[in-house]
Structures are given as structure tokens and as C-alpha cells.
Amino acid sequence: MLIFAAIVAIFVYGMIAAMLGTILPELSERFHLTPSQNGAIAFAQAVGLMLASVGVGPLLDAQGDKVGLLLGLGLIALALFALPRAGGFRSIAALLFVLGMGGGIVVTGANALVSAVSQDHRATALNLVNLFFGLGGLATPFIAANLFKKNWLRLCLTVATLTVGALAVSAVTQMPAPTGHAGLQLAHAGAVLGRPLLFLLGLFLFLYISCEVGVWNWLPRHLIAQGIPESRALNILSLGFALGLLLGRVGVSPILIHVDAVRVTLASSLAMAVTTFFMLRVRNPLAAAAMVFLAGIAMAPVFPTTLAIVGTAFPQMSATAIGFAITCGWAGLAVSSRVIGWLAGPDPARLKNALLLIPAAAVLMAGLDVVIGNMLR
């Protein structure tokens, strides 16, 4: 029941992670939003994610994961029920900030819960649970396009209703007690946040999220610049990269029972460097689809397996440590596309060179993995 509660919470988070990209065209048309305002709305959501992830860890350690899941799911439901009544840019940005806050709390709380209850097979459990993040991310645009015909109002209300269902599951689920007394948590958090190992793991997730977001946001434009039709480029992204992420997490789960988590992330980092480099070199659509799929498989284990490493390294204040590491990842979300866009400039031909940041970051990840492995040993 604990794993089921984490699964439905992560599934809801996956749905809201894809929400903005799905509804933004309709929001922009209805409220006459400019590209600058669109960017500000996305930034508001990212800020909410970052603030919630870094701040909720001590709360979870002091009050328990259940409090965090109820709070996060409640904020998500509130934002989604209120969004159809938004009056313009400012209210939309405020509600997306609340949505980001709820999402940051949920993803930290759900991963901390799985980390706590699956200590013997932490990496395997986290990979399987985070599989449902990908399913949620695929569900939102599919429902919007095929069931609601891009009716964003019905989409918001439907996801809000599903969120209430997830909240009910968390409410009736008996969850582990807090790891310590509330009065001691702040002092313990300071000790955890002062360890260099946590900063290296945070930097590792910063680089990884930068790579993943770089693929999600820029790959279609790169493929189109290579002469691949837009519809085919989008299918390569969804059916190639997203499917690779899903299947990769399923495939790596039994491997993690027998292989050390740091070795898995090291192998994934090296595979990312190779697959993303060749992904940027090919022009044939079939070859591009194959390389993008392999890149998705290579990236699949990194995020949940890194959280498993954090949970193992910081058993007493795991929620605080996991929240900090996830926040570093969200920083990559905020920075990646801005840096790639700045390097590419207005010339589509320069985008290929700008995207070489992705394999370069993967090489840095491999180097960090070696250092982290030595520190853990």
C-alpha cells in the first residue's frame, strides 16, 4: 500500500509536469499572452518546484512523509481547480507557482517514502516507481489530444479530480513515523547540507536534468533543421525518447538488485555521452529515431538511481538530502534551455554545436561518478 501511494502520487506529478506544455497554446490564445509572458509563467512554475524541494525536506523528516504528500497533492488540486477561473497573466503565473510548489513537495515526498520503505532494494524500487512519472507525462498530452480535443478546462478539472483521488489514497495509507524529533531536525539538516558528498550528488543531478531537458526542449528543432518533417520529429521525441526512458527503467530494475548503483550511473553516463553525440550527427530519420531511443534508455536509470544513492548515503535525514539533490536538478531545468538558446542564437545551423553541451555534460557526469564512488567507499 505504501508503494501504491507513492506510485499514484508520482503519476499525478508526471501529469502536471506535462500540463503547462499541453495547455499553454490554448492559454496564450485565450488571454493573448506574449512569448515573454509564456516564459515568465514557466519560470514561476520552476521557482515553485525549487523552493518546495529544498524547503520540504526538514518538514518530512520532522513530521513524516504523509504530511508532505497530503500538502503537495492538496496544493496541486487547489491550483488545477482554480486555473479555469484565472483572469489573466498574473493569476495564471501565481497558480503555476502553486502548482510547482505542490509538484516539488510530491516528488520529494514520494521518492523519500520509497527510499525509506525499500532499503534493501532502494534503487530498484525507485526506478520502478518513477516509471509512472513517464506514464503520467505521456497521459496528459494523449488525453488532451484524443479525448478532450484540446479542451484545457476539462483537462484541468480531470487531472484535479485524479489528484483528489491520489490524496485520498495517501490519507488512508499508514505511513512510517518521522525519523526524529522536530526540535533536532534543523541542527541535523545543517550537518547533512554541509557534507561535500551531497553537493557532488546535487551537481550530478544538475548536469543530468540539464541533459534531459535539453533533449525534450531542443531535439525537435534540431531534427527539423536536419530536414526531418516536424510531425516526424515530434514522433521521434515521444515514441523514441520517452519510450526509451520508460523501457530503460523497467530493464534496469532487476540489474540493480545485483549491481552497485554507482556503477549503473557511471555506465549510464558514458552511454549518454556516446548516444547523444551520435544522435546529433545523423540525418536519416530512422537512424535518428534509433539513436534517440538508445539515448532514452541510457538516461532512464540516472535520476531514480541517484536518489537511491542519496538515500543510502544519508539514512538519518534522507528527505532533507533528497530534497536538496532534487532542487539542484530543478536548477538544471531552469538553466539548460537558456544556455543552449544563447549559444545557438538565431541561426538554426548553430543549434547542433550548441547541443554538444549534452554529451559534454554526460562526460562530466562520468567523472563525478568516479569521485562519488571513491567517497562512498
- What pLDDT sits at residue 272? 97
- What pLDDT sits at residue 179? 58
212-222 pLDDT tens trace: 888 887 887 78
Of 374, 47, 331, 50, give the one whose Cα is nearest residue 213.
331
3-state SS of the chain is CHHHHHHHHHHHHHHHHCHHHHHHHHHHHHHCCCHHHHHHHHHHHHHHHHHHHHHHHHHHHHHCHHHHHHHHHHHHHHHHHHHHHCCCHHHHHHHHHHHHHHHHHHHHHHHHHHHHHCCCCHHHHHHHHHHHHHHHHHHHHHHHHHCCCCCHHHHHHHHHHHHHHHHHHHHHCCCCCCCCCHHHHHHHHHHHHCCHHHHHHHHHHHHHHHHHHHHHHHHHHHHHHCCCCHHHHHHHHHHHHHHHHHHHHHHHHHHHHHCCHHHHHHHHHHHHHHHHHHHCCCCCHHHHHHHHHHHHHHHCCHHHHHHHHHHHHCCCCHHHHHHHHHHHHHHHHHHHHHHHHHHHCCCHHHHHHHCCHHHHHHHHHHHHHHHHHHHHC
Residue 192 has pLDDT above 80, yes or no: no
The sign of the torsion formed by the CA atoms of 359, 364, 370, 375 equals negative
Q: Which of 24-28, 52-56, 326-330, 345-349 has the lowest mean pLDDT?
A: 345-349
Q: Which of 5-9, 50-54, 82-86, 192-196 has the lowest mean pLDDT?
A: 192-196
Residue of 74 and 313 predicted with greater confidence: 74
CA distance 314 to 197: 10
- What pLDDT sits at residue 300? 92
CA distance 375 to 377: 5
35 pLDDT band (50/70/90 cuts)? Answer: low
Over residues 2-12, the mean pLDDT reads 90
Q: Which of 18-22, 104-108, 179-183 has the lowest mean pLDDT?
A: 179-183
15 pLDDT band (50/70/90 cuts)? Answer: confident
Residue 182 has pLDDT above 50, yes or no: no
Q: Is the pTM for the entire model greater than 0.85?
A: no
Average pLDDT, the chain: 85
185 pLDDT band (50/70/90 cuts)? Answer: low
Percent of the chain surpassing pLDDT 70 = 93
Distances (CA, A) of 288 to 22, 188, 227, 298: 25, 48, 12, 15
- What pLDDT sits at residue 184? 47
- What pLDDT sits at residue 348? 67
279-301 pLDDT tens trace: 999 888 899 999 999 999 999 99
Residue 323 has pLDDT above 90, yes or no: no
174 pLDDT band (50/70/90 cuts)? Answer: confident
Domains of the chain, first to last: 2-178 (1.20.1250.20), 191-376 (1.20.1250.20)
Over residues 158-183, the mean pLDDT reads 82
Over residues 264-272, the mean pLDDT reads 96
CA distance 315 to 116: 8
Look-up of cell digits 507525462: 137
Residue 77 has pLDDT above 90, yes or no: yes
Q: Which of 32-46, 71-85, 172-186, 340-354 has the lowest mean pLDDT?
A: 172-186
